[in-house]
Amino acid sequence: MSTATAALRIAYSDLSTIAATLDEEDTWRPTRCAGWVIRDLLLHLLGDAQRGLVALATPAAGPADRDAVSYWETAPNGHDPAFRELRAQRTIASAWDLPALTRAFVETSRAVVTLVGRAAPDALVATQDHVLRVDDLVTTLVVEAAVHHLDLVVGLPRPGPRPEPLALVRRTLDGLLGKPAPADWSDEWWALVGTGREPLSGRERRELGAAAAQLPLLG
């Protein structure tokens, strides 16, 4: 089992556990995504798992034109702040019955993990008009899941993501930055500041130097 596959199992298992423990009131709590409550974010996570499911069922001819890092350079931003997008997300998420939404995420994410376990890491698949190796696709799913796990639990008494998914977030952010973040920054903190969820302190900005102007590296 590749590092990415193992991390995806952990990331989706932990998110499924959280989803299964939510009640209706929980789903209206705010997240780190501006304007999104938990049910909005859960719907977004379902959409990303569906992206993985479709990609794994869509073999592609080579060569790959994106990897686990360069994918994010052209990836669509899932958090468009335009009010029209916010209204659309809320309208769709509100229409879902909570048990149905939870079941859809749990079953879809489980199916993705099953298909990943059967796929060759170097096999090529298509997603969002690009071609990636399966292992790179899986890494993008892990990054999405881990970062949104942090978004999900900001006001919710649940544990955050485990080290394995966060390590892949760090690797991806370092790749986008073009150099490693300072070693004394925790994986979780780098995930938060590297995606613009928390501001850099003055000291941290000096440590990054000119590269600080690149942040946020992904949405």
Q: Quick check: is 24 in a domain?
A: yes
The per-residue b/e assignment along 145-168, b for 16 or more CB within 10 angstroms, e otherwise, is bbbbbbbbbeebeeeebeebbbeb
Q: Quick check: is 34 in a domain?
A: yes
Predicted pLDDT at 85: 73
pTM: 0.94
Q: Quick check: is 219 in a domain?
A: no
Domain count, the chain: 1
Mean pLDDT of successive 10-residue stretches along the chain, which has 219 residues: 96 98 96 93 96 98 96 67 72 90 98 97 96 98 98 96 98 97 98 97 96 94
Q: Quick check: is 14 in a domain?
A: yes
Domain coverage including residue 104? 3-214
Q: Would you give the distance in Å from CA 31 to the centre of its chain?
A: 14
Q: Quick check: is 41 in a domain?
A: yes
Q: Quick check: is 130 in a domain?
A: yes
Q: Which residue has the tokens 């932990």?
A: 14
Predicted pLDDT at 74: 72
Predicted pLDDT at 88: 82
CATH of the domain at 133: 1.20.120.450
